[in-house]
Amino acid sequence: QVQLVESGGGLVQPGGSLRLSCAASGRIRTIYTMGWYRQAPGKQRELVAAISTSGGTNYADSVQGRFTISRDNAKNTVYLQMNSLKLEDTAVYYCNADVRTVMPGARADYWGQGTQVTVSS
């Protein structure tokens, strides 16, 4: 019923920047909290940043001060601006959204397919 399509991943040098986008489409009535998660090989998936409907944000300690999450409710899109990237930021980044759909109006979490971010010299 809902699809999340990510873009903006790629290869970047340490200290560089990337901006990820995630656009939701489908039978959407309301999108509540949206977030970005990441998973590196051999590691657990972890929350990077989340943003509520009112604009409140939470960040992982490891990205605090470097990453900024934002959203455009009119476009059903969430963004992640990543600055001062480090080698340890290398991971697959996943978009997540808490969505209420139209007909029948159910509420559930949806996930994007992930986008690779690689930080390397």
Alpha carbons 14 and 89: distance in angstroms, whole number:
9
What are the two backbone dihedrals, phi and then psi, of residue 74, each rounded to the nearest 5 degrees? -65, -30
Instruction: Give the C-alpha separation, 7 to 108, whole Å.
Output: 23
Residue 65: pLDDT band with limits 50, 70, 90: very high
Q: What angle (nearest 5°) sits at the alpha carbon of residue 39, between those of residues 4 and 98?
A: 35
Within 10 A of 97 (CB to CB), how many other CB atoms are there?
22
* pLDDT band of 105, cuts 50, 70, 90: confident
Amino acid at 111: W
Mean pLDDT of the chain: 96
**Whose structure tokens read 């590691």?**
43
